[in-house]
Amino acid sequence: MSALTGLVVGSQVGRSDLQAAADKLVQTGLFSKVNYNFETRTGVVVTYHVTESPRITAYFDNIPWFADTELADAIRKRLPFFDGTLPEAGGAVDQAAEALKESIASHGMQVTVEHEVTGNPIGDGNVQLFKVEGPSLRIEKLEFSEASLLSSKTVQQRLSEIVGKPYSRMAIDVFLTEAIRPVYLRKGCLHPKLGPPEIRLTGNPHQKLPDQVPVFVPIDPGPVYYWKGVHWTGNATVSEFTLSADVGLKPGGVAEGMEIEAGWDRVREEFGRHGYLDAKVDAVPSFDESAHTVSYSVSIHEGPQYRFGKMVLTGLSPTAEKKLQGAWPIPPGDIFDKAKYEEVLTKLQLHEEQIFGDLPLHYEKVGHWLQPDPKTGTVDVLLDFQ
């Protein structure tokens, strides 16, 4: 860290130099807080007390000419502490971008390297994404180590989303997460390893890359897991029996990942029927790798229970308002059943005659909002007919 301060042992310093060094530490972005104290002995002994900034993974988007390890090494020559992560902003990130630019330029390519914080396409949180402006590469084809994927109609239908488009590691990873990962989750492969994507070219390696590049994705499906069950806590309103039935998976059956996620949605909907609009479902899996089973510990945080307050309508005639008020299924003061509210929305969008009969109407869409008030325990419904 001493190198980051710019201070040199044996040099003359004053208080302003010590403060300037502290400022330099902050400007790197590596530290959110920097304080210091010093003692005067035969010289000045200064101690910097720092709080590190959160770091996020460095992610290389459209730099296919080099392996990730090469790019990381290029950054490490400039920033020896680089461990694959960087702060969200600051001088360290700018220096990393400059190091990448210089490394690419040493191979005869002049590009501009940009960086931005964006969502992680293969996990939680954010990444520090580096991308180049300049060369325009497109994805010629996408191949997988599992040939069966190319025979899947679902995969074939979605390949046009990525093939022929500009080369982007981010775009490929998003495609793998959204289009390929569900294929394996439905089979009970809950930990498929998808990628990282590789460019596989033949011919003279010193020649300029073609405008279109083939992308190969290694895939390891991992084992198939079987459903063991759920342990529930925090559910004061709805029974374990009902919640387990909402999840829908049977012990001993294949643990279909997409069904598991849909099951948690159904659990949230169940609490919505009882007026718990803010209910949280915290599901933590436990894997038995020897038996290839998965069980879940699920904590329910119900939150406040809401009752229906009032309905505010805009864009309707007085006659139409009366029709809608008459068809509204939840009396004021009753527990707000979110499922009934959504049934009304469906009728308004697709079967308006079930509410308005033959009354002539002139709306194309309905804006809809819930306005909960935790202090009063009521929720108002706002509908805007446009």
Structure confidence by residue, pLDDT tens digits, 94-123:
989 999 999 888 877 788 999 999 999 988
Q: Which residue has the higher pLDDT, 206 or 255?
A: 255
Q: Is the pLDDT of residue 49 over 90?
A: no
Q: Which residue has the higher pLDDT, 277 or 108?
A: 277
Q: What is the pLDDT of residues 158-191, one digit of tens each?
A: 999 999 999 999 999 999 999 999 999 999 999 9
Taking a C-beta distance cutoff of 8 angstroms, is the pair 86, 93 a contact?
A: yes
Q: What is the pLDDT of residue 104?
A: 87
Q: Which residue has the higher pLDDT, 29 or 223?
A: 223
Q: What is the pLDDT of residue 201?
A: 66
Q: Which residues contact 258 (CB under 8 A, 6 or more apart)?
A: 182, 185, 186
The model's pTM: 0.77
Taking a C-beta distance cutoff of 8 angstroms, is the pair 122, 177 a contact?
A: yes
Any idea of the CA torsion for 100, 101, 102, 105, to the nearest 10 degrees? 120
Place of tokens 């001088």: 91
Q: Domains plus CATH for the chain?
A: 2-52 (no CATH), 55-133 (3.10.20), 138-202+209-220 (3.10.20.310), 226-301 (3.10.20.310), 307-385 (3.10.20.310)
At residue 46 the predicted structure's pLDDT band, cuts being 50, 70 and 90, is confident
- Residue spans of alpha helices (H) in 28-90: 68-78
Q: What is the pLDDT of residues 183-223, one digit of tens each?
A: 999 999 999 999 899 887 665 555 566 678 899 999 999 99
Q: What is the pLDDT of residue 348?
A: 95
For residues 37 and 136, what is the distance between their CA atoms, to the nearest angstrom?
52
Taking a C-beta distance cutoff of 8 angstroms, is the pair 107, 135 a contact?
A: no
Structure token digits, residue 346: 């469906």
Any idea of the CA torsion for 314, 318, 324, 326, to the nearest 10 degrees? 140
For residues 103 and 90, what is the distance between their CA atoms, to the nearest angstrom?
21
CB burial of 159-179 (b: ≥16 within 10 Å; e: otherwise) equals beebeeeebbbbbbbbbbbeb
Taking a C-beta distance cutoff of 8 angstroms, is the pair 257, 278 a contact?
A: no
Q: Is the pLDDT of residue 74 over 90?
A: yes
